[in-house]
Structures are given as C-alpha cells and as structure tokens.
Amino acid sequence: MPLDPALTELTTVSQASPTVEFTDFVTRTGFVTFYAAKTTDLNVLTQSDFYSDTVTTSILNQNPTEFTKMLDLDFDIEFKETGDVRGTGTVNVPVMMVIHNSSKTHSSYVIVKVRHWDGSTETDLVTNQSDTWIETSTGTNEVHKAMFGIDVVIPERHFAEGDTLRLTVELWGDSTDSGGNGDWVLGHDPKNRGTTPRESLGGSGNATALDFGSEPTILLFKCPFKVE
C-alpha cells in the first residue's frame, strides 16, 4: 500500500523525501528511519546517510556525585506538507564513557523525547528512559561503549506544513560518590564512522579516547506514521 502522499513531503536541510521501509497493515502504521546528525549550523533528522560534521558530541573531565544531565541535544525535521505521526517507534542511541581513574564506577542512562514544535509552542508527545548502564574500571582512561534501544509510544499527532518533529536526546551520568573524572559521549554519524580528528583529540589527553572503533555511532529514530 503506498504511503499517504502527505507524508512524502517531509523535508530536512537536504530536502529529502522519506521512504517507508515497513508497513504494519494491522495497525495501519508505516515506519520511516531518520538519522540524527550535525551540519555546520544545525542538528537534523534526515534519511540521507551523509557524513555528520562531527561524529560525536562530548562533555569532558566530569565528576558528578549524583546523576547529572551531561548532554541535551535536539534533532529536527520540518514538514513541507501535512502528516500524522502515530504508533510505537524505536530510538537507538550510541554512548561512550571514558573512566579516567582505576577501580572507579561510572553510570549512564539516556532519556529520549519526541516533540512537536509549531514555531511558537513545543509539545512533548512521549518521553522514555533507558536502563541504567554501569561500568567499573580496572585501569586508567578506560573506554566503555554501549548502544541503547528505547521504545517510544507516540499518540496520534497531526503535523501541519511548517511544523517540526523534534527528537531530544539527554545523556545522564554519575561517577558514584566522587568516583573520579570521566568523559560522556554521544555518537551521531549516519555514515557510522568511529571517530573524527576534531572530536578524538579531546577526552583524556590521548587521540583514541573518544574513538568508538568498530562500535556503531549511528543515532537513529524509527518513526511511526499513520497510513490511510
């Protein structure tokens, strides 16, 4: 069954039209995969697998003694025509923790929010939180990587021309009662690179500190759309 023509007019900075990859005919829901990425000036949701301006966003040398919001990023796509979002979607978020000191325990979790923005009012449609990820270091400058898979059950919401679908990703971290300094990192590269030179020179003072290596850096949102 073809997608509602209204849904073929979504746009990002690249003016890409979304392609439904799977349709659930029982629930009348079509799914579109959006990649989160950065350009020089914007954080975007896009179906185009271009090279993100930076592979990661990080906050360095932190020592929170309770869970603290480390990063808070919005990724946007603007509707050129009307469309309806509805159903259960999935967000994959790649995360890295670099633990600077030996025998220290650091933790992370991710909160994702799907939002509607009409140019004046931002409305939260759904919020969900990942499980808590805990790692204890056995050496210094230890790199740990994880991929979160978070479900988002989105109530039906109409998007008019010019409205924005916004994916907000928050990374929270804790170093467990002064457990030493650490770095918290989010990946967001549609091309799935491990690192870029600009980001990899941060971290704990070595060029591989923020390198995801062979682990994925794709931050994606499988977004459900109502199909007539």
pLDDT at 24: 67
Pairwise CA distance, residues 33 & 27, whole Å: 18
The single residue listed with the structure tokens 């990899």 is 200
pLDDT at 205: 47
Pairwise CA distance, residues 228 & 79, whole Å: 18
pLDDT at 63: 92
Domain of 38? 34-221
Pairwise CA distance, residues 68 & 64, whole Å: 6
Is residue 73 included in any domain, yes or no?
A: yes
Contact of 37 with 113, CB cutoff 8 Å? no
Is residue 78 included in any domain, yes or no?
A: yes
Contact of 220 with 15, CB cutoff 8 Å? no
Is residue 26 included in any domain, yes or no?
A: no
Is residue 212 included in any domain, yes or no?
A: yes
Is residue 20 included in any domain, yes or no?
A: no
Contact of 1 with 72, CB cutoff 8 Å? no
3-state secondary structure of 96: strand
Tens-level pLDDT at each residue, the chain (228 residues): 444 444 333 333 333 345 666 676 667 788 999 999 999 999 999 999 999 999 999 998 899 999 999 999 999 999 888 889 999 999 999 999 999 999 999 999 999 999 999 989 999 999 999 999 999 999 998 999 999 999 999 999 999 999 999 999 999 999 987 778 999 999 999 999 998 766 655 444 444 467 898 999 999 999 999 887
Q: What Å distances lie between residue 155 and 50, 126, 152, 160, 226, CA to CA?
A: 30, 8, 10, 16, 11
Is residue 38 included in any domain, yes or no?
A: yes
Specify the number of domains making up the chain: 1
CATH at 52: 2.60.120
pLDDT at 22: 65
Pairwise CA distance, residues 144 & 134, whole Å: 10
Is residue 129 included in any domain, yes or no?
A: yes
Sign of CA dihedral 113, 38, 220, 33: positive
pTM of the model: 0.86
Is residue 5 included in any domain, yes or no?
A: no
